[in-house]
Amino acid sequence: MGFLTIYQDNYTDSTVISNRFIDEYMQAANDAQLKIYLYLIRMMSARLDTSISAIADKFNYTEKDVLRALKYWEKNRLLTLDFDEHKNVTGIHLMDSNAGTDMLSITTGAASASLASYPSAAAHQIFEKPDYTADELRAFKNSDNAARLLFVAEQYLKKPLSANDIRTIFFIMDRLGFSEDLTDYLLQYCVDRGKRDFRYIEKVAISWAEQGITTPKQAASLAGKYDKSVYEIMRALGKNNLPTQTEVAYIDRWQKTYGFETDVILDACERTVLATDNHRFEYAEGILKRWYEIGVHHKSDISVLDTDHRRSKNTRRQTPANKFNQFAQNHYDFDALEQEILSN
């Protein structure tokens, strides 16, 4: 028996590309990277199967060319890759630039792979907590699933739950659509990070819902995207949220372009927090960029700069001003740098 062609009357023969991709990512990508990314979006939109070898054949590339392009987009955080024990790609998670997430599963062999999709419609919703009635809360609290979960929540949080706490959990399951397993994982995730405040838990839940997270595995994949140092730097700047794409771009530049170790970045973060409550990433960028330009490599180099700076200030105080030395000083001025950063 031959293959059947299945038609869908309401199918739209088009592929949607976000404006953000065009504005922020397209210019820097080469021909192969663009073709492969657009092709993946097209296959996902049409619910069609594909494979590494099929993509290579489609564009007359080698499989290594395809893998290089995929790793380029992974580096730019527009997709993530899954690997098997032999380091073969087994899955591609295409990250919608508007925060929705879809998954295109592919194989490295000749066989085509199945296509699944994470719910992305949630990314366009505004999640507001309803003013649940006492009867609604009571009914939720007395249901079997909720009773188990509320008991577990009290064990994680090491305190009895208030009515507002229960209302938040009800909202997470009712309006955000979290399963019992995902809600359980959410509580563990927050507690493991030392966060037991339900306002924080609610913010994380909304963030996951906006990104289409529906299972603990997806949540773990999202949380595991970033190195431990990223969260350490975020905390050093007074940020407790999951990093945004802009924040990750700053940290990537500090670590990869400037080549700074975490201790150097944390030093800049400490100075930033002492100097300003606003625009902290921009302020830290100004410090680290200047350190990079003058050749700082290690934390010991910063100590030398600080010592030179103090000596310079003392010299300026002790030296009488005259027409020669009034303009002859050419020292690195940290104070002027900070003012320049704040004014930008």
Domains and CATH numbers, the chain: 19-117 (1.10.10.10), 134-218 (1.10.10), 228-343 (no CATH)
Q: What is the largest CA-CA distance in the chain?
A: 99
Ranges of the chain whose pLDDT falls below 70: 1-13, 96-126, 223-226, 241-242, 313-344
Tokens read off for 177:
């659509």
Q: How far is Cα 229 from Cα 265, in angstroms, rounded to an integer? A: 10
Lookup: tokens for 270: 């400490």
Extract the tokens encoding 9: 């009357």
Q: How far is CA 251 from CA 221, 237, 278, in A?
A: 20, 11, 17
Q: Please state, in angstroms and rounded to a whole number, the distance separating the CA atoms of residues 132 and 310.
A: 61
Alpha-carbon distances of 36 from 43, 56, 71, rounded to whole Å: 10, 9, 11
What pLDDT was estimated at residue 125? 47
- Mention every residue, 6+ apart, whose C-beta is less than 8 A from residue 16: 41, 45
Cα–Cα dist 266/260, whole Å: 10
Please give the pLDDT value at position 101.
40
**Are the C-beta atoms of residues 92 and 105 closer than 8 Å to each other?**
yes
pLDDT of residue 112: 40
Q: Do 290 and 309 form a contact (C-beta atoms < 8 A)?
A: no
Q: Which tens digit of pLDDT belongs to each residue from 53-77?
A: 889 888 988 888 888 888 888 887 7
Q: Provide Rg for the chain, Cα atoms.
A: 26
Burial of residue 74 (number of CB atoms within 10 Å: 0-12, 13-18, 19+): middle
Please provide the distance, in angstroms rounded to a whole number, between the alpha carbons at the two ends of the chain: 69
For residue 7, the model assigns a pLDDT of: 45
How far is the C-alpha of 105 from the C-alpha of 12, rounded, in Å?
22
Edge-first strand listing for the sheet containing 89-95: 79-83, 89-95, 101-104, 115-116
Local structure of 308: helix, strand or coil: helix
pLDDT, tens digit, for every residue of 205-247?
988 887 778 888 888 877 666 677 888 899 899 887 667 778 8
